[in-house]
Amino acid sequence: MNKHPVQSQLPEFGTSSMTSQRLYQHPEPQQESKIAEAAKNTAAFLLLICIFGGLGFMFVHQADRESANQIETIAQAVTVEDAE
């Protein structure tokens, strides 16, 4: 058996154009058009408005229902006291 590891039997490669530093550079991001960027920002802004507006509407609606329930409970308590 060979005493040398397999890696030592590989041939030596010289520098070539295929192993230049250019291959190791990160790709440059593509520039989007101003209209596409504005459309994305507008859509994200409208989505946030819908989410927070919906949450606000739910809180206000639930508060109104709870207030109506409290008024109904108080009215029932008053009518029960009057009946006695």
Matching residue, tokens 């550079």: 25
Summarize pLDDT for 16-63 with one digit per residue, the tens.
655 555 556 677 778 878 999 999 999 999 999 999 999 999 999 999
Q: Specify the pLDDT at position 29.
A: 77
Angstrom CA distances, 21 to 12, 78, 81, stand at 19, 86, 90
Residue 2, pLDDT > 90, answer no
| Predicted pLDDT at 31 | 80
Query: What pTM did the predictor assign?
Result: 0.51
pLDDT surpasses 60 at 3: yes
Which position has the higher pLDDT, 12 or 43? 43
- Nearest-5° angle of CA 30, CA 33, CA 38? 120
